[in-house]
Amino acid sequence: MTVYLVGAGPGDADLLTIRAARLLANAQVVVHDRLIGPGVLDVINPDAIRYDVGKLPGLSQSQERINQLLITLGREYEHVVRLKGGDPFVFGRGGEEVRALTDNSIRVDVVPGISSAFGAPLLAGIPVTHRGLSHGVTVVTGRSLKGSSIDFSKLANPDITLVVLMGVERRRDIATALIKGGLSPSTPIATIEWASTSSERVQRGSLDGLGELQVVAPAVLVIGPVAELATNHVETLIADLALQP
């Protein structure tokens, strides 16, 4: 009896790992989130029982109820898949589900997925690190939890790319705090909505215009000089790499 916590990637079924696809094809039960692409759902064993535990934002079931459902199913079935968007351990509450299951002596196996934190910028042609432009990348949530929120002014660093998940609502405040912290208002930014799906949309601009951009969730915000790079810069990237072996 195993519950497999499986990363579904950002949406496109072609971005599933082979292991994820195999587990979905053999699942007896699949418990999935809202942001799972239709192509990914098609990979599921047609005879599997399915639970959609997050149909609409705000109406999603509480984590406690989801944990309880997983425990019940984990006791009853041999092969349960808990399918989660992106990577299960990147803002996916995967750690909480693992703990709830192991506390109840249910075996858990976690399968990584492509996180939107890295997959969405890549699909927009943005390398999150790039020699001479960005020495690293910080991935943060834009959403505050129980009254506390990240102080974005402390994350202002022109040498590090900032990738914000769940940041659409607070994008104006985030931009203001980063500028207050010392980032130039002209710092390039990009927003990537619905990465890897037919609704994918990429917008580019500067930090001082982030609040004005019309952005639809789910989206990833990329802040930093690399946000200016695009697929049509690939030749430049290749040339750079050739010069610096």
Output the smallest distance, CB 176 to ligand SAM, in A: 19
Position 112 contacts ligand SAM (CB under 6 A): no
Output the smallest distance, CB 125 to ligand SAM, in A: 15
User: How far apart are the C-alpha atoms of 118 and 10, rounded to whole Å?
Assistant: 10
Position 191 contacts ligand SAM (CB under 6 A): no
Residue the block writes with tokens 């390039």: 188
What string marks each residue from 28 to 57 as x (binds ligand SAM by CB under 6 A) or -? -------x----------------------
Residue of 12, 14, 42, 55 marked catalytic:
55
| Active site annotation includes 55 | yes
**Residue nearest ligand SAM by beta-carbon distance:** 86
Position 227 contacts ligand SAM (CB under 6 A): no
| Active site annotation includes 154 | no
Strand partners, 79: 2
How buried is residue 55: exposed, middle or buried, by Cβ count under 10 Å (0-12/13-18/19+)? exposed
How buried is residue 18: exposed, middle or buried, by Cβ count under 10 Å (0-12/13-18/19+)? exposed
What string marks each residue from 83 to 102 as x (binds ligand SAM by CB under 6 A) or -? --xxx--xxx----------
By residue count, the chain amounts to 245
Output the smallest distance, CB 216 to ligand SAM, in A: 10
User: How far apart are the C-alpha atoms of 199 and 76, rounded to whole Å?
Assistant: 38
Rounded-to-10 torsion of CA 55, 58, 59, 63? 90
Residue the block writes with tokens 């402390």: 154
Q: Under DSSP, is residue 213 helix (H, G, I), strand (E, B) or coil?
A: coil
**Residue with smaller CB distance to ligand SAM, 137 or 243:** 137
**What does the binding site for ligand SAM look like in residue numbers (CB under 6 A)?**
10-11, 35, 85-87, 90-92, 115-117, 120, 165-166, 192-196, 217-220
Catalytic residues: 33, 55
